[in-house]
């Protein structure tokens, strides 16, 4: 049995694993899972299928960079069009914002 590439102690086991992107299931894929650290490895073919599924579901390329703008005495964050379309965000919609440490901000609808 093959050893884990990460912890180098556990054994890799063949499993079918559900893969989620942004909390949305992309399906179930063949993977090798470490019985110790639980690290999951997908081969190139399975990775390609996951990418295709993400594209089909409109989840591909949603991660984006944006700039903080100024609006009077406050600052605002512009949302890219693909995020607006995916989340169906509208102007005036109320959101809850909450810092997660000093380098992450959670925006909840
Ligand atoms: Zn491991």
Cα–ligand 1 centroid distance for 100 (angstroms): 28
Given a contact cutoff of 8 angstroms between Cβ atoms, the answer to whether 4 and 14 are in contact is no
* pTM score of the predicted model: 0.68
Cα–ligand 1 centroid distance for 22 (angstroms): 24
Ordered DSSP codes for 10-21: SBEEEEEEEEEE
Cα–ligand 1 centroid distance for 39 (angstroms): 6
Condensed to tens digits (0 to 9), the pLDDT of residues 8-61 reads 999 999 999 999 998 899 999 999 999 999 999 999 999 999 999 999 998 998
The four Cα atoms 21, 77, 100, 27 give a dihedral, to 10 degrees, of: 0
**pLDDT at residue number 109:** 87
CATH architecture classification, 12-56: Roll (3.10)
Residue 1 reports pLDDT greater than 80? no
Strands (DSSP E) contained in the chain are 12-21, 24-34, 40-41, 68-71, 74-77, 96-99, 105-108
Cα–ligand 1 centroid distance for 47 (angstroms): 20
Condensed to tens digits (0 to 9), the pLDDT of residues 58-95 reads 899 898 899 999 989 999 999 999 889 888 999 999 99
Condensed to tens digits (0 to 9), the pLDDT of residues 29-38 reads 999 999 999 9
How would residue 105 be classed by pLDDT, with cut points 50, 70 and 90? very high
**pLDDT at residue number 20:** 95
Cα–ligand 1 centroid distance for 37 (angstroms): 4
Cα–ligand 1 centroid distance for 15 (angstroms): 14
Residues 8 and 29: their CA atoms lie apart, in Å, by 23
Cα–ligand 1 centroid distance for 24 (angstroms): 26
Q: Is 23 exposed, middle or buried (0-12, 13-18, 19+ CB in 10 A)?
A: exposed
Annotated domain spans of the chain = 12-56, 68-108
**pLDDT at residue number 87:** 87
Residues 12 and 4: their CA atoms lie apart, in Å, by 6
């Amino acid at each position: 049995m093959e050893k884990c590439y990460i912890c180098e102690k556990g054994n890799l086991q063949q499993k079918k694993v559900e893969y989620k992107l942004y909390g949305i299931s992309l399906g179930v894929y063949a993977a090798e899972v470490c019985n110790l650290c639980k690290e999951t490895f997908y081969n190139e073919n399975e990775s390609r299928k996951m990418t295709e599924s993400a594209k089909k579901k409109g989840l591909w390329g949603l991660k984006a960079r944006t700039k903080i703008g100024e609006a009077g005495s406050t600052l605002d964050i512009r949302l890219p069009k693909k995020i607006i379309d995916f989340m169906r965000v509208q102007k005036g919609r109320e959101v809850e914002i909450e810092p997660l440490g000093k380098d992450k901000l959670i925006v909840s609808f």
